[in-house]
Amino acid sequence: MKNLKNTSDKYLHIVSFDIPFPADYGGAIDVFYKLRCLHDLGIKIILHNFQYGGRKREAKLNELCSHVYYYPRNNNKTNILSGKPFIVVSRSSDELLKRLAADNYPILFEGLHTCLLLNHPALSHKKRFVRTHNIEHDYYLGLAHSESDPLKMLYFQSESRKLKRFEKNLAHADGIVTISRNDELHFAAINKNTRTISAFHSSESIEVRSGTGKYALYHGSLDVSENNRAALFLVNEIFNEINYPLVIAGNKPSKELRAAVKKHKHIALRDNLDTDDFATLINEAQINILPTFQATGIKLKLLLALHQGRHLVVNTPMVANTGVEELCYIADTPDEIKKQIAELAKMPVSDATIDLRRKILVENGFSNHHNAQKLVEFVFGK
C-alpha cells in the first residue's frame, strides 16, 4: 500500500450520528479514533455532529478537524409515527444539507442513522459513502428480544421493520464500508462496491500486563438492553454458583442489574466511568468475559480486551467469522464457562499468546493506521 502522508489537499465531510467524544461507547470509539487516524494522514475533516442526550460540544474535536458543526437531534416522539426509522428521521437538518451541497468534497455518512440525505438531489454531484456499524434491522430485532418492557419491545420491533425497508437506500451510495466480514456479505447484495474496514479503537499495540489478575470483568454500555441481558446472565447463571470475583463495568445500569448484584458479595458493579477507567479495569482483570446474544458487527469491547487484557472467555456469537477466534477461549453453556474460568483463574498469559495476538490482529486488519490508509484509498482512489 502506498504512503498516504501527503494528503493535505484532501477534504472529507463526515456526518456523525453523535458527538464522538468522549469516546466512551462502541460507535463513538470507532468514529473518534477514525478521526484521529485520518487527521494523522493529513485528511482535512469537516465534521458534522448530531447533538443529544446531554453530550456537549467538544473542543478536542477542533484539534482533529478543519471545521466542526453541531445540529440538534429532533427526538420529538411524533417521529416514531413516520414511515422511516426514528433513528434516521430524528437526524435531519436543512443547515446540514446546505453545507454538504456547497462543495465537491466526498461525504462519509456514519451509520444508517445519518443517511436521510444520502440520495438527496442536492448531493448528486458528490461522492457519498456509508460506514455501517451493524446490520441495523438485525440489531434492533435483537434489542426487542432482550427487552422486558412491552412498549420498548414494540418500538424495537417496529424500528427493525422500518430499518430493513430503509436499508435499500444504500444502493445509491458510491460505496459502503462495513465493520465486519459477515456484514460485508449482507451489504454487498445491496451495493456491489462494499469493503470491510474493521473498527477503529484506542489501542495501536498489544499491551498486556504481566502476572495475574484477581477478577473477571464484563464491560459495556449497560443501558443497552443486550448488554444488560449479558450482565444478568453472568450474575444469575454463572457467578451465582462460583466464588470467583466478577466486576461489571458500564454506565447507566438497570435497577434489575443493581438488585441482582447486591445479592452477591463477590460481584461488584462499577459505573460513572471514563475511558481511562475502562482501560485500567481491562488491564488489571485476569479474565475478560464477554458473552453476547447478538452476532452483529464486531464488538469494540472485544478488540479492546484483545489489545489490553489477559485471557478472553467469549461465546460463539461474539467471535464467529471475525478472524480472532483462536485468540479467545470459546464457551457457550454455563457449565463450559464455569469450567473455563476455573482453568484460567491463576494461569499467566504466555508470551506465545501475546505474539499470536500481534500477528493475527495485524494480518486481519485490526490496525488503525492500516485501516485508515484503506479508507482513504477507498474514498479518494489510489
Domain harbouring 120, CATH code? 3.40.50.2000
Local confidence band at 358 (pLDDT 50, 70, 90 cut-offs): confident
Nearest CA to 378 among 203, 178, 188?
Answer: 178
Q: CB under 8 Å to 130, separation ≥6 — which residues?
A: 108, 109, 111, 112, 115, 118, 170, 173, 175, 176, 177
Local confidence band at 81 (pLDDT 50, 70, 90 cut-offs): confident
Using alpha carbons, list the distances in angstroms from residue 97 to 15, 150, 218, 285.
11, 37, 41, 46
Residue 1 has pLDDT above 60, yes or no: no
Residues 169, 227 share a domain = no
**Averaged over 272-294, what is the pLDDT?**
89
Q: In angstroms, rounded to a whole number, what is the distance separating the alpha carbons of residues 287 and 284?
A: 9
**Averaged over 53-70, what is the pLDDT?**
95
Nearest CA to 197 among 123, 274, 130?
Answer: 130
Residue 71 has pLDDT above 70, yes or no: yes
Residue 2 lies in a domain: no
Residues 120, 71 share a domain = yes
Residues 287, 197 share a domain = no
Distance between alpha carbon 190 and the CA centroid of its chain, in Å?
22
Q: In angstroms, rounded to a whole number, what is the distance separating the alpha carbons of residues 84 and 97?
A: 18
Residues 371, 359 share a domain = no
Residue 155 lies in a domain: yes
Pair 121, 22: CB distance under 8 Å: no
Q: CB under 8 Å to 229, separation ≥6 — which residues?
A: 146, 293
Residue 41 lies in a domain: yes
The secondary structure element, H or E, covering residue 160 is helix 150-166
Residue 283 has pLDDT above 50, yes or no: yes
Nearest CA to 247 among 269, 262, 265?
Answer: 269
Residue 8 has a pLDDT of 61
Residue 5 has pLDDT above 60, yes or no: no
| Structural domain span for residue 358 | 216-363
Lowest-confidence pick of 104-113, 277-286, 288-297: 288-297
SS3 267: strand
284-336: per-residue pLDDT in tens?
A: 999 999 999 877 667 788 988 999 999 999 999 998 878 889 999 999 999 99
* Residue 76: burial class (beta carbons within 10 Å; 0-12, 13-18, 19+): exposed
Residues 182, 63 share a domain = yes
Residues 371, 356 share a domain = no
Residue 6 lies in a domain: no
211-239: per-residue pLDDT in tens?
A: 899 999 999 889 888 899 999 999 999 99
Does 20 sit behind a cis peptide bond, omega within 30 degrees of 0 on the bond before it? no
The conformation of residue 328, written as its DSSP 8-state character, comes to S
Residue 239 lies in a domain: yes
Pair 172, 130: CB distance under 8 Å: no
Local confidence band at 40 (pLDDT 50, 70, 90 cut-offs): very high
Total number of domains in the chain = 2
Computed over every residue of the chain, the mean pLDDT equals: 91
Residues 91, 187 share a domain = yes
Residues 226, 99 share a domain = no
Residue 3 has a pLDDT of 41
Pair 67, 43: CB distance under 8 Å: no
189-219: per-residue pLDDT in tens?
A: 999 999 999 889 887 788 899 889 999 999 9
Residues 69, 83 share a domain = yes
**Averaged over 365-376, what is the pLDDT?**
88
Distance between alpha carbon 22 and the CA centroid of its chain, in Å?
14
Residue 4 lies in a domain: no
Distance between alpha carbon 284 and the CA centroid of its chain, in Å?
22
Residue 177 lies in a domain: yes
Cell of 86: 426514528
Residue 93 lies in a domain: yes
Distance between alpha carbon 153 and the CA centroid of its chain, in Å?
22
**Averaged over 154-182, what is the pLDDT?**
95
Nearest CA to 105 among 381, 380, 382?
Answer: 380
Residues 249, 182 share a domain = no
Q: In angstroms, rounded to a whole number, what is the distance separating the alpha carbons of residues 259 and 110?
A: 36
130-155: per-residue pLDDT in tens?
A: 999 999 999 899 889 888 889 999 99
Residue 159 has pLDDT above 60, yes or no: yes
The conformation of residue 234, written as its DSSP 8-state character, comes to I
**Averaged over 258-262, what is the pLDDT?**
97
Residues 246, 114 share a domain = no
84-98: per-residue pLDDT in tens?
A: 999 999 999 999 999
Residues 168, 226 share a domain = no
Pair 16, 109: CB distance under 8 Å: no
* Bridge partners of residue 270, in order along the sequence: 249
